Amino acid sequence: MEWVESGGGPLIAVPETVLPFWAGADGDETVSDYDRACEVDGRVGLLPVGDSAALVLGDEPASTSYLPEHRAFVRWGAADSEDELLAGVDKALATAVWEAEVHWTVPGPVVLFDAAWPGNDCVRTDHLKVALDPGRYAVRAAQVQPGAETWLGLVQLRRL
């Protein structure tokens, strides 16, 4: 599996079509796009980017991957191995106490990367392309402990 990590700030999923509009920590403005992403309160939030929106994975800068079979971003909280973490996903999905969902409209595939990077430069660092069909999604998040020493975050997408 491919995992994306950040340098300490939030990860962000930006639609490919608007990557050039994400300036990251760069820019001449008093508040950068990165600053806006850091201000997101909670596990998920949306920020306008170009004529679309990006999904901010807030809370803590955990290593994150995407499981297409569950339409979910999985965030590594604690586990002795990747196998142990992934073995807890089904139980975590079944027992999660979900936070309020947000609705996200995407024009197609998105790219997950560290919010500090400009969109045009994200391919030079950890990133993950996520194939999403164009449309509207309900996005919900939870922090779950599926095992005694296994913690993970979930950000699940449901097509509306």
**What is the residue extent of each domain of the chain?**
11-66+98-143
Residues of the chain with pLDDT under 50: none
In the Cβ-directed half-sphere of 93, how many Cα atoms lie within 13 Å? 16
| Pairing label, strands 52-57, 44-49 | antiparallel
pLDDT of residue 105: 98
Q: Determine whether 3 is exposed, middle or buried from the number of CB atoms within 10 Å of its CB (0-12, 13-18, 19+).
A: middle
Can you give the pLDDT at residue 61? 84
CA-nearest of 47, 46, 12 to 118 is 12
pLDDT at residue 62, as a whole number: 92
pLDDT at 112 (0 to 100): 97
| C-alpha closest to that of 3 among 58, 79, 62 | 62
Encode pLDDT of 72-118 as tens digits.
Answer: 999 999 999 999 999 999 999 999 999 999 999 999 999 999 999 99
pLDDT value of residue 29: 66
